[in-house]
Structure 1
Amino acid sequence: MKFGMRKPSWKKSLSARTKGRMTRAVKKALIPGYGKKDMGWLHPQRKLYNEAYKRTTFSIFDLFK
């Protein structure tokens, strides 16, 4: 498990803003329940890991908020 600041990746950031956004929009239109709140419990181990990761790390951009 990582603690502290996450290393920023411009490549992943750009991908999330372009192709990722488009893919999520298509999936949300086609798959009922996709992107809804509390759907992470379908994969409990992943959800617990992601919640712990979110609480123990921060982005460099969080410093400027």
Structure 2
Amino acid sequence: MKFGMRKPSLKKRVSARTSLKRQVVHRTNLKMPKGKGWARNPKKYAYNKVYRKTSFDIFKLIKKMFK
């Protein structure tokens, strides 16, 4: 599990935005309603919940500082 600042990756950021899987899911309306991730994959949901609470994104931190 990651604690502290997340290391930014431009490659991962671009690939997430342009992935074929994401395009298909969004265009066919196969998305789960917001907050229902536990129904699809409870193990991944629990991991992501802890990960988001124990780490932070450098870009969000900079954004808050300059607001």
- TM-score band w.r.t. shorter chain: 0.7 to 0.9
Paired residue secondary structure (1:58): strand
Structure 2 match to 1:39: 36
Conserved? CA contact 1:40–1:47, under 8 Å? yes
Q: Using the alignment, how far apart are the partners of 2:32 and 2:23 within structure 1?
A: 9
TM-score with structure 2 length normalisation? 0.72
**AA at the equivalent of 1:16:** A
Structure 1 segments unaligned to the other structure (5+ residues): none
Structure 2 segments unaligned to the other structure (5+ residues): none
Over 6 Å off, 4+ runs: none
Structure 2 match to 1:4: 4
Structure 1 match to 2:59: 61
TM-score with structure 1 length normalisation? 0.74
Q: Using the alignment, how far apart are the partners of 2:49 and 2:34 within structure 1?
A: 14
Q: Using the alignment, how far apart are the partners of 2:25 and 2:14 within structure 1?
A: 19
Selected match of 2:25 from 14, 22, 27: 27
Provide the identity percentage. 47
Paired residue secondary structure (1:14): helix
Shift of residue 35 of structure 1? 4.2
